[in-house]
Amino acid sequence: MICLGRNVATDETVAVEFGETIGSVRVDENAAMDSVCLAPGFVDIQVNGFGGVDFNDPRVSIEDVGRALDAMFASGVTRCLPTVITGPPDAMVACLRNLRRAQVELVHGGAIVGFHIEGPHIGAEDGPRGAHPVAWVRPPDIEEFRRWQDAANGGVRLVTLSPHWPGAVGYVSELVKSGVVVSIGHTAATAEQIVAAVDAGATLSTHLGNAALRNPAKFPNCLWDQLAEDRLHASFIVDGLHLDPAFLRVALRAKSIERTILVTDAAAPAGAEVGPYKLGELDVDLTADDRVLLRGTQRLAGSALRMNRAIANLMRIGGVSLRDAVQTATVNPARLIGLAGRTRGLFESERGDVVVFRDTPELAMEAVYLDGVRVA
């Protein structure tokens, strides 16, 4: 396969020849393609569901998981971490086992490169807990983590927790030693607790600016503490709903493009029709203005965001370039989780994950390839 267009990372007009891996990327000034752009496939490390399919329902069929992946491919995402949120212990294990089956059995199951566990070791109070069910919030338990890994065949790659729990430091250290990325999120932890978690190996803040105290102290507060910690990357949900524009711009300056990661935090309603849905045991509704709300409230519960729109929003709201916005959805998350073959961009011997799109206000996708096979 050969794709022609503008490499967004270099602004050069190139011809990319690829199959399962990229064979060559050569400058070709005769291949000018107007606004056609080329980039590595997008990587989403936090996605709870898509296309009407809830990854937090262990009864979801393998075929439905495949349908969700197909819908994600259309937004440019070629690799993802399906995310299991706070829930009953047995249900979380069952979800992981089901998603692992999809990873193995689906034709394009390789798009699932692991799993993200968001909770249940989070803050129980309103605000930090977000929409997670309070009944299932519980302290870190290394034996529970091992049950997750057993169900996922060792595929859990990212765990989000609050470091306020007694024993959190030892838990973080054990997970990091096993090769798992640990993220701080859904927390009202103190500065000392955040530093201790980072010292133990935590390297990310999950959807920073969300799932926090509604009226934090001027200082100290855990948002400033995480923004100021240069050892932490930060992920952001840039849908125009989850974050105040001024906060996003300040956060981008604090973290820099190199430590910024775009996530969708998409739930089942993403890419689906307005109406009622489930997120695990939670009832949610997709509204006409693309908000995913906990039923009967105005509380956001995940998003309906597509990654191509997240990139466009980051440019529009955050004031960053196309090159930088694409970096936050490609090589940055790949480097964070150690995703082999995806850490350098459009280079020889990298995976044949390529997206072709138009540089339009919403990044109109034209073609998406996974391991050299067109999937959208």
- Note the pLDDT tens digit of each residue in 288-337: 999 999 998 988 898 999 999 999 999 999 999 999 999 999 999 999 99
DSSP-derived secondary structure letter, 214: S
Fold classified for 42-341: TIM Barrel (3.20.20)
CA distance 86 to 92: 8
- Where b means 16+ CB within 10 Å and e means fewer, 307-346 reads bbbbbbbbbebbebebbbbbbbbbbbbbbbbebebbbbbb
Helix axes 307-318, 245-255, angle to 10 degrees: 90
- Residue 216: pLDDT above 80? no
**Domain residue extents for the chain:** 42-341
Q: Catalytic residue numbers?
A: 265
CA distance 98 to 87: 15
Strands (E), the chain: 2-7, 12-18, 22-27, 36-40, 42-47, 49-50, 53-54, 77-85, 115-118, 156-161, 181-184, 204-205, 233-237, 260-263, 275-279, 282-286, 292-294, 354-358, 364-370, 373-374
- Residue 4: pLDDT above 90? yes
- Residue 218: pLDDT above 80? no
CA distance 94 to 52: 19
Tokens of 30: 């005769």
The pLDDT value given to residue 210: 94
- Residue 254's nearest CA partner among 275, 234, 238, 273 is 234
Percent of the chain with pLDDT over 90: 91
